[in-house]
Amino acid sequence: MKNVRQRCVTFFLVVAMNALIAGFTVPATAAGTSAQQGLVDAARVTFNDFMRAESMSWVRNHLHEVKALLIIPSLLRGGFIIGGSGGRGVLLVKDSATGQWSQPAFYTIGSFNFGLLIGGEAAEVLMLVRTQAAVDKLLASSFKFGGDLAITVGPVGGGAKSNVKADIYSFALSKGLYVGVSMEGSVVTTRDDWNTAYYGRAVTPADIFILNSVSNPGSAELRETVAQAAVVKPK
């Protein structure tokens, strides 16, 4: 009888402990990722701002050609005329075989130069990654724009053309208007801690973009928005 009682007590303790653990386990889509999900949602808003901006018709017309997008909802300048600060963004990579867009990975960018903004103002930035070499660079933990990886301000306006063969075109808006932002020399770093928080385990950009081994349903709206905009438009 005593053994039966002990087994019952042990059983209920195990059940209670499992319930307690479950109560404190936060899934990858819950409150523990509120900051990351907030950035993903902000990236969708920023992307839509570019799709609506009158000056960004070149972007809309060439979006289907790109291999990846780096979306930075708020790139903040710290100084006046020449200054540096930074911002966080998300990278989406397009599968060349299926045309589907990947889950997002989180990045930090810093040491840039604004062309026209005064200190303290922010810009929304969209980078169109046009070559596989650039995508491969973005898989590294940290790298600098320039040198082997050419980046330039993208053409603006409906009839705009560019003869520059750059790996990445960058575009920026401030308060809905185009501004010049030079990203040359900027340092881009993966946010491993944010990626871990968003997907619930340690992951690398390769896990996200190549192996497709993780997912978060919170990115669905962003990915769908980009996919719809990147469809080739009939002429």
In this predicted model, which residue has the larger pLDDT, 202 or 7? 202
Q: For residue 54, what are the contacts with CB-CB under 8 A and spacing of at least 6?
A: none
3-state secondary structure of 225: helix
pLDDT tens readout for residues 81-106 = 444 567 899 999 999 899 999 999 99
pLDDT tens readout for residues 31-54 = 447 999 999 999 999 999 999 998
Q: What is the average pLDDT across 156-170?
A: 70
Comparing CA positions, the residue from 96, 156, 159, 151 lying closest to residue 127 is 151
Confidence at residue 12, expressed as pLDDT on a 0 to 100 scale: 39
Domain boundaries, the chain: 29-229
Q: 0.75 cut: is pTM over it?
A: yes
3-state secondary structure of 193: helix
**157 pLDDT tier (thresholds 50, 70, 90):** low
Q: What is the average pLDDT across 1-27?
A: 38
Percent with pLDDT over 90 in the chain: 49
Query: How far apart (Å, rounded) are the C-alpha atoms in residues 181 and 52?
Result: 20
pLDDT tens readout for residues 119-141 = 456 889 999 999 999 999 889 88
3-state secondary structure of 23: helix
Confidence at residue 9, expressed as pLDDT on a 0 to 100 scale: 38
DSSP-H helix ranges across 25-148 = 34-52, 57-62, 132-138
Using alpha carbons, list the distances in angstroms from residue 8 to 1, 3, 11.
11, 9, 5
Residue 190: count of CB within 10 angstroms of its CB: 22
Query: How far apart (Å, rounded) are the C-alpha atoms in residues 177 and 115?
Result: 13
Does the structure show a pLDDT above 50 at 117? no
How confident is the prediction for the chain on average, in pLDDT? 79
Query: How far apart (Å, rounded) are the C-alpha atoms in residues 90 and 78?
Result: 21
Comparing CA positions, the residue from 63, 59, 41 lying closest to residue 172 is 59
Give the Cα-Cα-Cα angle 77, 78, 80 (nearest 5 degrees).
Answer: 90
Confidence at residue 13, expressed as pLDDT on a 0 to 100 scale: 37
Query: How far apart (Å, rounded) are the C-alpha atoms in residues 106 and 90?
Result: 5
Query: How far apart (Å, rounded) are the C-alpha atoms in residues 154 and 20?
Result: 54
In this predicted model, which residue has the larger pLDDT, 203 or 14? 203
